[in-house]
Amino acid sequence: MFRLLKIAILLLACVPLLAQRPGGIDLDRIKRAIVFIYQAESGPNDLVIKCVSSGTLISADGLIVTNAHGVLPGRQCDGDQLIVSLNVDLTEQPIPKYRAEVFNADAGLDIAVLRITRELDGRLISRGGLPILPFVEVGDSNAVAIDDNLIVAGYPDFGNQPVAIARGTVTAFVSEPIGRGPSWFKTRAEIPGTMSGGGAYDSAGRLIGIPTNAPLGGLAATASCRYIADTNRDGLVNDSDTCVPTGEFVSTVRPISHAQSLIRGARHNLKVNIATALANAPAPLHPPKVSRLFFAPSAADGTPSTVVGSLPNNTKSLFLFFDYDNMTAETVYELRVTRDGIPDTTFSLPPVRWSGRESGLWYIGSREQAWANGAYEFTLLINGTSVGSNRIVVGGAAERRPQFSDIVFGTLDQSGALVGNGSILPLGDIASARFLFANMPAGAPWSAIWYFGGAEVARSTDNWSDANHGAKVIKVAPDGGLQPGQYRLELYIGGALSATSDFIVAGQPAGPLPEIFTNIRHTSVDSPLAARAAPSSTSFPSAIQGLYALFDWRQIAPGTPWTLRWLVDDQAFYQATLPWLTVDSGRDLTVWIDQPPDGSYMLQLLVNNLKLAEEEVAIGIGQLPIDRLSQSEGTILSGKVIDATTRIGIPSVTIVLVSEDYAASEFLWREDQIFALATSDRNGDFQFARPLAFDTYYSIVIEADGYIPLAADEFDFSADEPYADIEIAMVPG
């Protein structure tokens, strides 16, 4: 349903003529929000382009979400400037307008949030000094289903063509041990490599993902790249110049849910600083490698349920597990899957950036999707080179084969029952594990092998003497007791791996969860050093210079993965899983936020996704201010300005919507009076980037050289009508 635009008070003879919009997605709005990004290196006289990507404006004040690999400095993209080109005319190439900076980024997830900060010539833009820009609404990627329609927007070339639209469907989900929901959407839409970083939209036109690839650059001869500039200054553009990587066609989309904390932090200008004791680990000295490839029918919290060599008809869940080492966020990995020797694009993963840590246990697969019967070959590639493969057969009747499954760890209480959280144990003398068993024949040979830090610490081998089905508890008592660090248990039946799981030992006994992080407190000072001696509090006034959080820790081994999460008003704006990089026990580890806005803040510390400690603090009124520039619900107002005599569109007309607090006659071109502003293109068409709030009155002011100025009051937009189009006739004067 489209609304009729009502003008209650008419000033200076402005008579809008109404025109209805076509139904469906507002593609023009999506296109206006797509930007083209050049990462460039500053040269003596000009900029040298290093990498290119598309991006999407998600707020009217210049926030852009895109891929990290095209904007963060790295081996391939070693530039120091980000140039943002915007749509001026949807039928033409974008025009370089601004410079941007990376506000938040997760290199592993390959997501970055940029903020426009400077004019193209380098002049700093004050906060609030940027014209209101077109943007799109961020949707809910967790609501996406297989076969849903997908629209992808981005630039198909090196910024010399208009923004393009690719259509397709969601063909598959790919799961990895990161976050909640799918790690990737797969699509067969034809998406050129330069559209990586752009936007993927659902049927309502909401941003639900970021199309993503990972150019291999000089790491592989088959990588896509283009020579577009004379980088060596020899007067020629050829293969002696620097090649700008683009990657192959994009078939993977990173769900926008993985970017939500980055986006939230950027919207509220919240950037977390971490003490140098937790600085990034040095790059690994050896090349990446993978080992111990095996299959499991399901995964929970990064752990396989059981190990299988085949699966029956109607299989809908399958995961390849493997150990990995020496990985970085710049590592490019790929999974190629064949079924009966034929490539299976549904379950393959094209080259993408590595999302995990430097070393550990990983999985890739899918759940709730049908796997056709056949012999599957899974091949892993790292930086374009095959590093491991394994086969599994799907089909036939379910077998009643002996198996172990579902290992959990804990300690035994006085009654012999296993207690604990399943994956983290405190320091002690004995670790216990409970696992399920099924179809176990009497006398079957089985083994249990325990590892600490990758080295075997205990082994037992026996013939099965328990029942056919049930649960069993076993234990290990290493010489010298349990030391802080990472442990593993492998269970074998007849020499074949049947179940495996990892656990962490850290902290002191303190109930179901060990006590690792203690004494969280908050203070407000001007430096990390001063924070250690400052008094703590649970509330602070508005406009503090910094919010500091300090905590103590005990018995956590270097290299142990842990998670720092910070929330504001119950929504995470920062979450990072890091290796522990300082001594195993200490005090006053410090993290902080500069100039935080009013709000209710919560610091949480986790290991293995288990929350071990948290503390809350309030600033000012204890609630975030409303970010009006990120408003996404309301009426999208667009239209055309024409000459009243010739009926020809008028370019470069400024149309101002005045805040509901002012009438048109009170407008003095002050920033606080402007709710939204638009300029007509060469055909006279315009659209406001910022939605107009429902059931709210606005005034309008229109000025154009050579025409009589127009003004009107009381535009009323109803909640059930999301679009409005007007035609405005200007009288020459």
The answer to whether residue 17 scores a pLDDT higher than 50 is: no
Average model confidence (pLDDT) across the chain? 87
pLDDT digits (tens, 9 = 90+) for 78-127: 889 999 999 888 888 999 999 999 999 999 999 999 999 999 999 999 87
Q: Structural domain tally of the chain?
A: 5
Q: Are residues 487 and 588 in the same domain?
A: no
Beta bridge partners of 449: 459, 490
CA–CA distances in Å: residue 122 to residues 116, 119, 269: 11, 5, 21
Q: Are residues 499 and 520 in the same domain?
A: no
Q: Are residues 229 and 298 in the same domain?
A: no
User: H/E/C letters for each residue in 276-289?
Assistant: HHHCCCCCCCCCCE
In a domain, 21, yes or no: no
| Average pLDDT value for residue range 346-373 | 93
Q: What are phi and psi of 32, to 5 degrees?
A: -65, -25
The answer to whether residue 213 scores a pLDDT higher than 50 is: yes
In a domain, 282, yes or no: no
Q: What is the CATH number of the domain that holds 572?
A: 2.60.40.10
Domain end position, chosen among 455, 481, 505: 505
For residue 528, the SS3 value is: helix
User: In 3D, which of 360, 487, 490, 491 has the Cα closest to residue 424?
Assistant: 487
In a domain, 537, yes or no: yes
In a domain, 479, yes or no: yes
pLDDT of 16: 36
Domain end position, chosen among 353, 370, 394: 394
Q: Are residues 69 and 182 in the same domain?
A: yes
The answer to whether residue 218 scores a pLDDT higher than 50 is: no
Q: Name the more confident of 50 and 257.
A: 257
In a domain, 378, yes or no: yes
pLDDT of 158: 78
How sure is the predictor about 343, in pLDDT bands with cuts at 50, 70 and 90? very high
pLDDT of 633: 62
pLDDT of 152: 95
For 297-417, strand residue ranges (E) read 299-300, 303-304, 310-311, 317-325, 332-339, 342-343, 349-353, 360-367, 374-382, 385-394, 403-412
Q: Are residues 171 and 254 in the same domain?
A: yes
Q: Name the more confident of 583 and 45.
A: 583
Domain that holds residue 650: 633-730
pLDDT of 22: 40
pLDDT above 90: percentage of residues in the chain: 60
The answer to whether residue 171 scores a pLDDT higher than 70 is: yes
Q: What are phi and psi of 533, to 5 degrees?
A: -100, -5
Between 54-58, 162-166, 574-578, 710-714, the lowest mean confidence (pLDDT) is in 710-714
Q: Name the more confident of 217 and 385.
A: 385
The answer to whether residue 12 scores a pLDDT higher than 50 is: no
pLDDT digits (tens, 9 = 90+) for 23-65: 457 788 899 899 999 999 887 777 888 889 999 999 888 999 9
Joined together, the tokens standing for residue 518 give 């203690």
pLDDT digits (tens, 9 = 90+) for 531-554: 999 999 999 999 999 999 999 999
Q: Are residues 414 and 361 in the same domain?
A: no
Separation of CA 589 from chain center: 27
User: In 3D, which of 99, 103, 134, 104 has the Cα closest to residue 119?
Assistant: 99
Q: Are residues 473 and 571 in the same domain?
A: no
pLDDT of 405: 97
pLDDT of 727: 84
The answer to whether residue 11 scores a pLDDT higher than 50 is: no
CA distance 63 to 59: 5
What's the Rg (C-alpha) of the chain?
Answer: 29
pLDDT digits (tens, 9 = 90+) for 77-92: 888 999 999 988 888 8
pLDDT of 20: 34
CA distance 202 to 6: 31
CA distance 655 to 653: 6
pLDDT digits (tens, 9 = 90+) for 476-510: 999 989 999 999 999 999 999 999 999 999 999 98
Go through 262-296 and write b for each residue having 16 or more CB atoms within 10 A of its CB, e for each that does not.
bbbbbbbebbbebeeebeeeeeeeeebebeebbbb
The answer to whether residue 408 scores a pLDDT higher than 80 is: yes
The answer to whether residue 729 scores a pLDDT higher than 70 is: yes
Sheet holding 360-367, edge to edge: 289-296, 317-325, 360-367
In a domain, 99, yes or no: yes
The answer to whether residue 304 scores a pLDDT higher than 60 is: yes
Q: What is the DSSP string of 415-470?
A: TS-EEEEESEE-SSS-EEEEEEEES--TT-EEEEEEEETTEEEEEEEEE--S-SSE
Q: Name the more confident of 604 and 700.
A: 604
Between 162-176, 290-304, 414-428, the lowest mean confidence (pLDDT) is in 414-428
Q: Are residues 454 and 413 in the same domain?
A: yes
Q: What is the CATH number of the domain that holds 653?
A: 2.60.40.1120
The answer to whether residue 670 scores a pLDDT higher than 80 is: no
Cβ(400)–Cβ(444) below 8 Å? no
Domain end position, chosen among 345, 367, 394: 394
pLDDT above 70: percentage of residues in the chain: 90
For residue 28, the SS3 value is: helix
Q: Are residues 57 and 206 in the same domain?
A: yes
Q: What is the CATH number of the domain that holds 33?
A: 2.40.10.120
pLDDT of 219: 40
pLDDT digits (tens, 9 = 90+) for 429-457: 999 999 999 999 999 999 999 999 999 99
Q: Are residues 53 and 191 in the same domain?
A: yes
How sure is the predictor about 407, in pLDDT bands with cuts at 50, 70 and 90? very high
Q: Are residues 442 and 342 in the same domain?
A: no
CA distance 344 to 365: 13
pLDDT of 410: 93
| Average pLDDT value for residue range 396-420 | 90
CA distance 129 to 316: 53
CA distance 702 to 667: 11
In a domain, 9, yes or no: no
Q: Are residues 262 and 330 in the same domain?
A: no
CA distance 189 to 168: 4
In a domain, 16, yes or no: no
Q: What are phi and psi of 228, to 5 degrees?
A: -125, -5
**Residue 467 burial by Cβ neighbours in a 10 Å radius (0-12, 13-18, 19+):** exposed
The answer to whether residue 151 scores a pLDDT higher than 90 is: yes
